[in-house]
A and B are shown apart, each in its own frame.
Chain A
């Protein structure tokens, strides 16, 4: 194996940073999800929607379910963080924003390398993911 081959086989510095961020974020997300779920099901914090009400209506479509349970859409859950059920959204959100955070590392790396094609691709990806996360596309519509 030549020295050039050896270099090509190694992941780039940005790739390692990306992997490390992903690992820390993913593990934190799982731990947070587990803790908040325990808080929720043990009733340490009261719920916005009673669990037996959820069990009665989880067979209905999302529109009916939201109307019956008066659940928020988009980032409306932030106002209900004191409730056990919506506390779980912290973990979900962490998993959802993780890729966006990791992409910021790539953007910085491609900018430094003056690799404009991949810089633009990474910026566009951040925009697409941010648009999806914003709630502008997925919520509302009643």
Chain B
């Protein structure tokens, strides 16, 4: 007999993920079979969405990715909501998560204000442009934005799979812009029991990259932690801990500007936005607790696989191939 107590937590999470992924897909299939008016009562999808987001929040924490990057491709792929609403709510989800993490990161001095402020200005400005462009393209040709989203998600999956971040990058000489802005600091490394000094290099190139990050974040409502960290860490030479913390804090600024564009446009429907935000936040809290006993590496590969599938599904939908249903 199967002893459920002995099942490893990773397998439990895999089963939960499978269950949650299959729920909306099956429900959607029965709903669209009949066609015309939906058969389900109005509360059906918000309830499914809440539990879906709860699990998504757990998995996001364990995989080390933001909620937005999982929310948009999965919800747009498996729920009956239009991509306009999913992107708008995706940004609200990413924003709420970043706002929740911000206080702790600032108090521990892990998120660096000096580093965040200049790049946040660039990213938030261009996330407005991205959001407006996304809404314009969506009106022009919805398949175009779906295809671009699919391509971006597939790219993110590969980025998560292959990028090898460096714990403490070696920066021999700080560049002039980094020096002028004072983009250097010191943080306490609990593991090594030492204070670590850091400074940036290739600052100008890094800032240019934040133009692209802002555009993508606004256009697809993805949040942008997946892009912030490699740019800060691998390109600008910021230690990984500071990069991750500053990136999370950055999202609270970048996503605010793009979220306002979607909010003002009416893309944030309360009926589905609140279960998404609250579900993901509760899931994140649970995820932090489970993290202590689970194997995050396994979860990370599982999430990357799901992300890859969701990206291919969006590509399939956008290009009208119909291979993945």
Name A residues whose Cβ lies closer than 8 Å to a Cβ of B. Answer: 1, 5, 8-12, 14-16, 18-20, 22-23, 25-26, 29-30, 33-34, 36-37, 40-41, 51-52, 54-56, 58-63, 65-66, 71-75, 85-86, 88-89, 91-93, 95-96, 98-100, 106, 117-118, 121-122, 124-125, 128-129, 131-133, 135, 137-139
User: CB-nearest residue of chain B relative to A89?
Assistant: B270
Q: Quick check: B269 and A58 within 8 Å, CB to CB?
A: yes
Kindly specify which of B57-65, B259-267, B293-301 makes contact with the partner chain: B259-267
Tell me, in angstroms, the Cα distance from A72 to B113 when the chains sit together: 37
Could you say which residues of chain B place their CB within 8 Å of the CB of A139? Answer: 264-266
Q: Quick check: B128 and A58 within 8 Å, CB to CB?
A: no
> Closest CB of chain B to A70's CB: distance in Å?
11
Kindly specify which of B2-10, B36-44, B167-175, B227-235 makes contact with the partner chain: B36-44
Q: Quick check: B252 and A22 within 8 Å, CB to CB?
A: yes
Q: Quick check: B270 and A37 within 8 Å, CB to CB?
A: yes
Kindly specify which of B19-27, B66-74, B76-84, B309-317 makes contact with the partner chain: B76-84
Within B165-207, the residues touching A (CB, 8 Å) are 180-181, 185-188, 195
Tell me, in angstroms, the Cα distance from A10 to B110 when the chains sit together: 10
B305 at the interface (CB under 8 A from A): no
Could you say which residues of chain B place their CB within 8 Å of the CB of A59? Answer: 80-82
Could you say which residues of chain A place their CB within 8 Å of the CB of B217? Answer: none
Tell me, in angstroms, the Cα distance from A98 to B260 when the chains sit together: 12
> Closest CB of chain B to A82's CB: distance in Å?
15
Partner of A99, one of B113, B114, B253, B272: B253
Is the contact region of chain B dominated by helix, strand, or loop, or is it mixed? Answer: helix
Q: Quick check: A99 and B256 within 8 Å, CB to CB?
A: yes
With an 8 Å Cβ cutoff, the count of chain B residues facing the other chain is 72
Tell me, in angstroms, the Cα distance from A36 to B273 when the chains sit together: 12
> Closest CB of chain A to B120's CB: distance in Å?
6
Kindly specify which of B135-143, B156-164, B236-244 makes contact with the partner chain: B135-143
B246 at the interface (CB under 8 A from A): no
Is the contact region of chain A dominated by helix, strand, or loop, or is it mixed? Answer: helix
Q: Quick check: B121 and A15 within 8 Å, CB to CB?
A: no
Q: A41-B43, A129-B257, A133-B260 are in contact. Are A71 and B266 (CB under 8 A)?
A: yes
Could you say which residues of chain B place their CB within 8 Å of the CB of A92? Answer: 92, 263, 268, 270, 273
> Closest CB of chain A to B216's CB: distance in Å?
17
Q: Quick check: A124 and B102 within 8 Å, CB to CB?
A: no
Interface centre among B82, B132, B186, B271 (most CB of A within 10 A): B271
Partner of A138, one of B45, B131, B142: B131
Q: Quick check: A65 and B107 within 8 Å, CB to CB?
A: no
Q: Quick check: A1 and B128 within 8 Å, CB to CB?
A: no
**Other A-B pairs beyond A129-B124, A131-B128, 7, CB < 8 Å:** A9-B109, A12-B113, A19-B102, A34-B278, A51-B43, A85-B270, A96-B256
Q: Quick check: A8 and B185 within 8 Å, CB to CB?
A: yes
Q: A72-B266, A138-B260 are in contact. Are A63 and B139 (CB under 8 A)?
A: yes
Q: Quick check: A125 and B253 within 8 Å, CB to CB?
A: yes
Q: Quick check: B99 and A26 within 8 Å, CB to CB?
A: yes
Q: Quick check: A60 and B82 within 8 Å, CB to CB?
A: yes
14 cross-chain CB contacts under 8 A: A12-B113, A15-B113, A41-B43, A54-B269, A58-B272, A85-B270, A86-B270, A92-B268, A95-B259, A124-B121, A125-B124, A129-B124, A132-B258, A137-B261
Within B100-149, the residues touching A (CB, 8 Å) are 100, 102-104, 106-109, 113-114, 117-118, 120-121, 124-125, 128, 131-132, 135, 138-139, 142
Q: Quick check: A88 and B121 within 8 Å, CB to CB?
A: no
Q: A55-B38, A133-B260 are in contact. Are A118 and B270 (CB under 8 A)?
A: no
Could you say which residues of chain B place their CB within 8 Å of the CB of A33? Answer: 274, 277-278
Could you say which residues of chain B place their CB within 8 Å of the CB of A5? Answer: 186, 195
